[in-house]
Structure 1
Amino acid sequence: MTDETFREGVAKAEEALRRLFPATPLQRNEHLSKQYGARIYLKREDLTPVRSYKIRGAFNFMRKRLEAGETSASFCCASAGNHAQGFAFACRHFGLKGRVFMPVTTPQQKIEKTRIFGGEAIEIELVGDFFDESYAAAREYARVSGAAMVPPFDHADIVEGQATVGLEIERQLKGEAIDMIVMPVGGGGLASGVTTFFAGPSAPDFRFVEPLGAPSLKTALTEGRRVKLPQIDGFVDGAAVAEIGALPLERLSGFPSDHVVLSPEGRICQTMLEMLNVEGIVLEPAGALAIDALRSLKQLIRGKTLVLVVSGGNFDFERLPDVKERALRFEGLKKYFVLRLAQRPGALKDFLGLLGPNDDIARFEYLKKSARDFGSILLGIETRNADNFPSLLKRMDEAGIRYQDITENQVFADLLI
């Protein structure tokens, strides 16, 4: 397929999409522009009807099958997130029957949102404890029933649909030169679509961003092949993909691996809180990726014009305490310790005297009387400045306090924190 043919297909997809919703805004963000000394625009995909760009690909996939004469087609998908909601919305729009396979462990809030978007057009089937089991069930259902399975990213029609983001950006800039586009990457459908749309000698610089705990694109570009990661951190659920899509990687294979930024999950939480508190913008973790990448790109972007694709805003506020916790730990403002204190009157009072004026106990729990002479305590401490911790630890050492810092110990964190 030539670049021109691809652009023509994207234009048709974009025209059809206007029956569902208007182009999402491209907004200059003064807060970020001032902070980084650049002209920064946000492409607000969190403002689609389903609060993510995923509706574009699902809609385009179905549209092309209907246009090909598959008028009695039924569809299915496997997803516990944005793809399911976009799929459901498209099914209702076309008046088609669809079935969504989700893990049994999917939060009720996501199940209900998918049901609201799809209405009577969809059925939801909860299968398995993990996504792989739901995916296998969806594939088997498609095989037996003849339903068309709508993939989340690894299909030409999905990539074409996601590329409509690029067409809207081009039109909304109205000829203004752009230096860089920053996009999040999960399976790669969005990134491969937009880069293909802009391909050519005048294409902007592209930078991609993945969560540190799920670097599927960076690993593939480094190795020169698709690699299924043995383990991923699922916190950034909208982009935590163990293996980049085959078609997306084919289209992204010409980019160097150092064009992929890896964002630490704790830093992403900082960015989410900043955008919520300063700008009033609610972002899911994957939706904050492109904005968070600015922290890694700040030396490259001063004086330049950038577009950041804000991919989604489906955030469950029940996760907010976890987001705050991760942000504090990443900033070094909160640490957890296991202390062994002598079992004598005044031992706890002596320890409390070591705390500084800005140190606050956020967690205090006796774990077990581990010996006749000593007891163990789980202790969480917050402080206003990360530089306060070295002096506190020095005072603890000088006082002979026996302790273990478990802040970065994932096993302890999962069990105790």
Structure 2
Amino acid sequence: MDLNSPNRIRGPLQSRRLPNLPQTRKPPTRRLLQIPRHRQPPPPAQRRPGLHHRRALALLPATIVVPDSTPAFMIAKLRAAGATAVLQQGASWAEADAYLREQVLAGREDAVYVPPFDHADIWEGVGGMVEEIREQLEGGGRTRWFVRLGGGAVLWGYGRVGEGGVGGVRVLAVETRGAESLARSLREGRVVELEKITSFATGLGARRVADRAFEYARRGNVRSVVLEDAEAAMGCWRLADDERMLVEAACGVSVAVCYDGRLRKLVPELTAQSKVVVVVCGGSNISVEMLARYRKEYGYIEKVTTNDETVPSTVSAPDALADGK
């Protein structure tokens, strides 16, 4: 979160991944300029950078390929955002991506492929977010970064720029069980491709982590953490109770680290002077109905909580409500 505003970091992060692309002659504009001039949109009228960027993209035909597991309301969101076509293909992102590159883009010299994570433009975009946060954290103290780990864009985007000038930085790369491509790769000492994704946190559903992210994760300052789906779900409803923010399970898994003593167990050397950055990235695959279902199905995860009345979600935990507290 931003040190001064809960919304400021969320904006840059979203606009710097997919479609990524910070709003100058960095990644987004650079990608747009790859399109033949006669197909480029006219300059948008909006002045705010985020709107400017999204408007420019909205004026371009866009074909989005998603896995068969993508819920209907997510497809509706893509269409509402201006997608020309939304196609479903394959059991996971890997199959959808292969179909896009090998079938949809075949013979299309006028098209530009925009990947979700394994591309230098995406990493550069994430690096912009890291630089902003780093500026706000000046003043010393040890810093811990918690990043959710799917394909590895946020991890390697951080790795490219995050260490320069920041002492004592450590990174926890958090995955859900059933989507732990990084954890498996680190155990085996090589990049491993999962046979399939079994976690419901489909936003982390890259069966294979990016090579650059894997190499960075092998350094001594990165620790791989794997949590259960139930914990990811808990992170979603706890954040909703505490911060009135709805995020999907792929984001909730990072938030979950902060609750019920997990943070202290993972990083016992934390002190009052330590600085912790939790990257909550993505978050569209969620609804109030899904959140209620998560809480009903996975509420057992909170049978033991910190019971801290200064943290609203410990008071509103399912067991607490059932007991009439």
- TM score, norm. by length of structure 1: 0.59
Matching residue within 51, 69, 77 for 1:113: 77
Structure of larger gyration radius: 1
CA distance 1:264–1:44, shift in 2 (3 Å)? farther
Quote how far apart the aligned CAs of 1:62 are: 3.9
Question: Taking structure 1 as reference, are residues 171 and 384 closer, same or farther at Cα in structure 2, changes over 3 Å only?
Answer: closer
Q: What is the aligned counterpart of 2:236 among 260, 272, 296?
A: 272
Q: SS where residue 182 of structure 1 aligns?
A: strand
CA distance in 1, matches of 2:297, 2:135: 38
Give the direction of change, closer, same or farther, for the CA distance of 1:125–1:273 in structure 2 (3 Å limit): closer
Q: 1:306 aligns with which of 264, 276, 279?
A: 276
Residue 105 of structure 2 is aligned with which of 115, 135, 142? 142
Q: CA deviation at 1:224?
A: 1.9
**Partners of 2:118 and 2:153 within 8 A in 1:** yes
Identity of aligned pairs, percent?
24
Q: Which residue in the other structure is 1:168 paired with?
A: 132
| SS state at 2:226 partner | strand
Q: Distance in 2 between matches of 1:253 and 1:58?
A: 28
Contact 1:102–1:124 at 8 Å: present in 2 too? no
Residues 152-192 of structure 1 deviation map (CA, whole Å, 9 limit, x = unaligned) = 11111111112111011022335454521111111000111
Deviation at 1:68, TM superposition (A): 6.1
Alpha-carbon distance in 2 for matches of 1:223, 1:101:
31
Alignment-derived partner of residue 337 in structure 1: none
Note the C-alpha offset of 1:194: 1.2
Question: Partner of 1:64 in structure 2?
Answer: 30
Q: Which amino acid aligns with 2:219?
A: G
Residue type matched to 2:108 in 1? Answer: S
Seen in structure 2, the aligned counterparts of structure 1 residues 90 and 67 have a Cα distance that, compared at 3 Å, is same
* Bigger share in strand: 1
The answer (yes or no) to whether the contact 1:153–1:159 under 8 Å persists in 2 is yes
Aligned-pair CA distance for 1:207:
1.6
Q: Structure 1 CA distance, aligned partners of 2:35 and 2:62?
A: 18
Distance 1:155 1:164 in 2: 15
Residue aligning to 2:84 = 123
Q: Deviations over 1:94-131 (max 9, x none)?
A: 733221123455322211211222x2xx3123233533
Aligned mates of 1:214, 1:44 — CA distance in 2: 29
1:317 and 2:288 matched: yes
The amino acid across from 1:123 in the alignment is T
Quote how far apart the aligned CAs of 1:323 are. Answer: 0.9
| Distance change in 2, residues 1:255/1:109 (3 Å) | farther
Cα distance in structure 1, aligned partners of 2:161 and 2:194: 29
Q: Distance in 2 between matches of 1:201 and 1:49?
A: 21
8 Å CA contact 2:18, 2:114 repeated in 1: no
Unaligned runs of 5+ in 2: 41-49, 305-317, 321-325
- Stretch moving more, 97-106 or 211-220: 97-106
> Aligned partners of 2:232, 2:134: CA distance in 1, in Å?
28
1:184 is aligned to 148
Give the letter for the 1:261 counterpart: V
- TM-score, with structure 2 as normaliser: 0.74
The equivalent of 2:299 in structure 1 is 328
1:311 counterpart letter in structure 2: C
SS at match of 1:145: coil
Structure 2: distance between partners of 1:305 and 1:105: 38
State the Cα distance separating 1:225 from its structure 2 match: 1.2
What are the Cα deviations for residues 335-379 of structure 1, in whole angstroms up to 9, with x where unaligned? xxxxxxxxxxxxxxxxxxxxxxxxxxxxxxxxxxxxxxxxxxxxx
Classify 1:212/1:43 alpha carbon distance in 2 versus 1 (closer, same or farther; 3 Å).
farther
Task: Select 2:57's aligned residue among 93, 113, 119.
Answer: 93
Aligned residues: 284
Separation in structure 1 between the aligned mates of residue 218 and residue 7 of structure 2, nearest angstrom: 24
Contact 1:61 1:150 in 2 (8 A): no
- Secondary structure of the residue aligned to 2:269 is helix
Give the stretch that moved more between structures: 41-50 or 94-103.
41-50
Partner of 2:189: 224
